[in-house]
Structure 1
Amino acid sequence: MLAFTVLAGALTACSSSSSLSADTGSSAPPPAPSGKPAVTTTRNLPLDTANLQVVQIAGIGSVVSDDDGFPLYRYDKDTAQPPKSNCVETECILVWSPLLSASGKVNAQGIDQTLLGTVERGNGLKQVTLGGWPLYRNTNDEGAGQANGNGVDGAWFAVGPTGQKAG
């Protein structure tokens, strides 16, 4: 929420009237004012129902992904019993986006439904869990099938179909 507030404030400041004018050298036209901040990705917004599937990623094996094919990760500093996310600071959330489900519902192909659940984050949002482990997306994954977050800091790992570390 803090990052959104900062972004909204920055965009408001940039769009307000000013006597300063500068040519930034950008050939792109300025965005049309809409009263809303621009959103570059919707992968971090809560879906009503989270959709999961199992995909194969070279060098790792079977990995759980979102419905767009982006791999999901677990964090060794979280806990599975009871489920708890320890990625709560802004610096963490900006890189490791929690997989959220507004309704708490999760659909999954190739995954035992009894292993799926949610845990409430401090802000009241429901984060999807697998085998008790809270799930995240990595913002450095730019396309389906990439797993750039696997092994980061020796604590972040692509998650397999039972909640185990993939690979």
Structure 2
Amino acid sequence: MPTPEHAKVKVADSKYGKILVGDNDKALYVFEKDKDNTSNCYDNCAITWPPLLTRGKPQAGTGVKENLLGTTTRKQGDKQVTYDKHPLYYYSGDMKPGDYNGQGRNQFGGKWYLINPDGKKVEK
């Protein structure tokens, strides 16, 4: 999938409450192991949990706090979208919008969670 010029982050209603989704309406996740705006998900991890990449400044959809949206530079130089300093990822096991198969998974050395519009991980 080509990297978009301006990745868009939106808010969607889910069984977990309001969560962040990408432009394709698929759920976005955060990784517990990531610290201080830095991704710790590479190689096989990044295949299972593809990072949300952008070439330019990410765009905030309705309900997304633009001041929490940012980017971090990955090892290869790609820009990954962040929210409240959490790098954002998709889960390869989510086939369509409304799938939340990554929620609460413990993989690659940490847990994965959906994220809400306040920048907090969804733990329920």
Considering the TM-score relative to the shorter chain, is it more than 0.5?
yes
Q: Aligned residue for 1:105?
A: 58
Matches within 5 A, 1:111-150: 111-150=64-103
- Is 1:63 aligned to residue 16 of structure 2? no
Q: Aligned residue for 1:25?
A: none
Displacement over 4 Å in runs of 4+: none
AA matched with 1:50: A
| Structure 1 CA distance for aligned equivalents of residues 58 and 75 of structure 2 | 19
Aligned equivalent of 1:152, options 84, 94, 105 = 105
SS of the residue 1:137 aligns to? coil
| Structure 2 CA distance for aligned equivalents of residues 47 and 56 of structure 1 | 24
1:71 CA displacement: 0.4
| Structure 2 CA distance for aligned equivalents of residues 72 and 100 of structure 1 | 12
- Between structure 1 and structure 2, the one with the greater Rg is 1
What stretches of structure 1 of length at least 5 have no aligned partner?
1-41
RMSD: 1.2
What stretches of structure 2 of length at least 5 have no aligned partner?
none
Aligned equivalent of 1:162, options 105, 118, 124 = 118
- The answer (yes or no) to whether the contact 1:74–1:133 under 8 Å persists in 2 is yes
Matches within 5 A, 1:86-101: 86-88=40-42, 90-101=43-54
Which has a greater percent of helix? Answer: 1
Structure of higher RCO (CA pairs closer than 8 Å, 6+ residues apart): 2
TM-score (norm 1): 0.68
| Structure 2 CA distance for aligned equivalents of residues 111 and 156 of structure 1 | 20
- Is 1:52 aligned to residue 9 of structure 2? yes
1:105 CA displacement: 3.0
1:109 CA displacement: 1.9
| Structure 1 CA distance for aligned equivalents of residues 24 and 59 of structure 2 | 15
AA matched with 1:86: N
Q: Deviations over 1:24-49 (max 9, x none)?
A: xxxxxxxxxxxxxxxxxx2xx31110
| Percent identity of equivalent pairs | 33
| Structure 2 CA distance for aligned equivalents of residues 126 and 106 of structure 1 | 14
Q: Aligned residue for 1:32?
A: none
1:98 CA displacement: 0.3
